[in-house]
Amino acid sequence: MEESLIYYLHCIAIAIESMGVAVIILAAIGSSLLFINQITSKLPWDKSYHTFRTNFAKGILLGLEFLVAGDIIETVTVKPSLDSLYILGLIVLIRTFLSFSL
């Protein structure tokens, strides 16, 4: 019973982390397409670049939220190790830095 619960929690953690990666990839693609559209429509470079950075950073933050959630599930339930805790701490630090820089 306990092994099957750990297996399902591991699968859930992987699914949540995969959603985080997908969000970051979609943010990169969407921000790039919007940037190209703004540049070709003769918007000023600095405004287009600022919009690109803001949109991409928001996408990264959202993706990191999913990654943190997946890592919390993984660290607490599946494989509670010191290495997992360090990786989780690093992701939280990156996410915090990005949220303050916006």
pLDDT, tens digit only, all 102 positions of the chain:
577 888 888 899 999 999 999 999 999 999 999 999 999 998 898 899 999 999 999 999 899 889 888 888 887 777 677 887 787 788 778 878 877 776
pLDDT of residue 19: 97
Which tokens in the block code for residue 38? Answer: 């703004």
pLDDT of residue 1: 58
pLDDT of residue 102: 64
Q: Where are the alpha helices (DSSP H) in 41-74?
A: 45-73
| Kind and range of the H or E run holding 25 | helix 2-40
pTM listed for this prediction: 0.79
